Structure 1
Amino acid sequence: MDLVLIRHPAVAVEAGVCYGASDVPLAGDPAPESASLAARLAALGVRAPHRIATSPLTRCASVAAALALAHGKTPAADARLAEMDFGAWERQRWDAIERAQIDAWAADFEHAREHGGESVAQFDARVSTWFETLDALEKATVWAVTHAGVIRAVTARALGVPLARCVRWPLEMAAIVWLRYDASSAQWLLARWNA
């Protein structure tokens, strides 16, 4: 199986604003953004998708719909692919959030819920339930249009690395991450990161 994780393109939100679970629009039109992604996927040699999954949030679903149309597919929206819910921090500037709250969150990265939304552990568990539904032995290519947090959580789970480590890896807007399951070694391999 090939699992291709696609981060949504840039959003129409001021830099420095927390917008995790908020449904914010793309900065640009989804059609040309999707065409650009499709060209990059083809240049990488990614096979056409058997299925396309997507976060239900507009910034992902609009891109997934355009990609799916080009491949004669219907995207499957799944709430488990939505970005982490930052509760009271949603739509707030990061530099306007009390420093003590940020520090408390950083001190207990996995379990703190200073914002009242999801803890990283809760978010990771939610995303993992989606990843575990995949049949790694299936000879299929699955594309998932989603968010940076989801991509990091899936990649950490697939590669068996701590999520806290994967969070530090750079991941640009509209980035492509390609995971491939190797049946002979019974493990996931990272084919591309931040492509």
Structure 2
Amino acid sequence: MDIVLIRHPAVAVDAGICYGYSDVALAEAPELSAAALAMRLATLQVPPPRVVLSSPLTRCATVAGAMAGDFGCPLSVDDSLKEMNFGTWEQQPWDAIDRTLLDGWAADFHHARAHGGESVAQFVLRVQTWLDAFAQTRELSPAYVVTHAGVIRVIASLALDVPVERALNWSIDMSGVVWLRRYDDSQPWSLVRWNV
């Protein structure tokens, strides 16, 4: 079973802005990004998808739709694949968020939610529920999943049995690809490629 996680391309948002759950536009046309991704995936010898799955946010869904059209496979959009909801911090510069609130989040990393959005624990549970359901659908493999850096890191954390705090520090470029594989249900997931 192959799952190919693709981070959305660059967005038309200034650097340093918190935009997790917010719906923001891409910096360039999704068709161009989809074509570039398809060429890179072919070069990496990633098998073509049976399905393209996506976050419903524009920065993912438009690229996923173009990819599904190019590959002639179904597109499935799922709210579970959205980035973490940062509540009142959304669309705010990270530097403008009260330092004591950020420190409180760091002190209770899994459960703090001073912003009123999701806690890390809630976010991880949402993504874990999605991954558990996906893992039962072998007929969807290989699947391309166009989503967000946080979602990709949590999926990798869960699949590779790595603490989420550690995985959240792993670099994923815009349009970065993470390829995971599991040979059968009795085997653990393995990492084929990270951030290529």
TM-score normalised by the shorter chain: which range applies? over 0.9
Q: Deviations over 1:157-190 (max 9, x none)?
A: 0011111000111111100000000338611000
Contact residue 101 and residue 114 of structure 2 kept, 8 A: yes
Q: Deviations over 1:25-75 (max 9, x none)?
A: 101110111101111111111001011110000000000000000011231
Contact residue 137 and residue 181 of structure 1 kept, 8 A: no
User: Could you tell me the TM-score, scaled by structure 2's length?
Assistant: 0.96
Mark the runs of 5 or more structure 1 residues left unpaired by the alignment.
none
Moved more, 160-169 or 179-188: 179-188
- Say if 1:109 and 1:172 are closer, same or farther in 2 by CA, change over 3 A: same
- Whichever residue aligns with residue 43 of structure 1, its letter is T
Mark the runs of 5 or more structure 2 residues left unpaired by the alignment.
none
Q: 2-side partners of 1:116 and 1:167: how far apart?
A: 21
Q: 1-side partners of 2:185 and 2:36: how far apart?
A: 34
3-state DSSP class of the match of 2:133?
coil
How much does 1:138 deviate?
A: 2.2
Q: 2-side partners of 1:27 and 1:38: how far apart?
A: 18
Partner of 1:142: 143
5 Å-filtered alignment, 1:106-145, equals: 106-135=106-135, 138=138, 140-145=141-146
Q: Which runs of 4+ in 1 moved over 6 A?
A: none
Partner of 1:17: 17
3-state DSSP class of the match of 2:6?
strand
Q: Is 1:95 the equivalent of 2:95?
A: yes
- Whichever residue aligns with residue 6 of structure 1, its letter is I
- Whichever residue aligns with residue 173 of structure 1, its letter is M
Contact residue 136 and residue 181 of structure 1 kept, 8 A: no
5 Å-filtered alignment, 1:179-190, equals: 179-183=180-184, 186-190=187-191
Contact residue 54 and residue 145 of structure 1 kept, 8 A: yes
User: Could you tell me the TM-score, scaled by structure 1's length?
Assistant: 0.97
How much does 1:193 deviate?
A: 0.6
Q: 2-side partners of 1:128 and 1:3: how far apart?
A: 14
Q: 1-side partners of 2:24 and 2:159: how far apart?
A: 28
Contact residue 137 and residue 183 of structure 1 kept, 8 A: no
- Whichever residue aligns with residue 5 of structure 2, its letter is L
Q: 1-side partners of 2:191 and 2:23: how far apart?
A: 30
Aligned residues: 195
Contact residue 54 and residue 76 of structure 1 kept, 8 A: yes
Contact residue 53 and residue 78 of structure 1 kept, 8 A: yes
Partner of 1:47: 47
Contact residue 148 and residue 171 of structure 1 kept, 8 A: yes
Contact residue 178 and residue 191 of structure 1 kept, 8 A: yes
Partner of 2:29: 29
Q: 2-side partners of 1:191 and 1:53: how far apart?
A: 19
How much does 1:107 deviate?
A: 1.1
Q: 1-side partners of 2:12 and 2:74: how far apart?
A: 26
Q: Is 1:166 the equivalent of 2:167?
A: yes
- Whichever residue aligns with residue 145 of structure 1, its letter is V
How much does 1:136 deviate?
A: 5.8
Q: Percent identity?
A: 54
Task: Give the CA RMSD over aligned residues.
Answer: 1.3
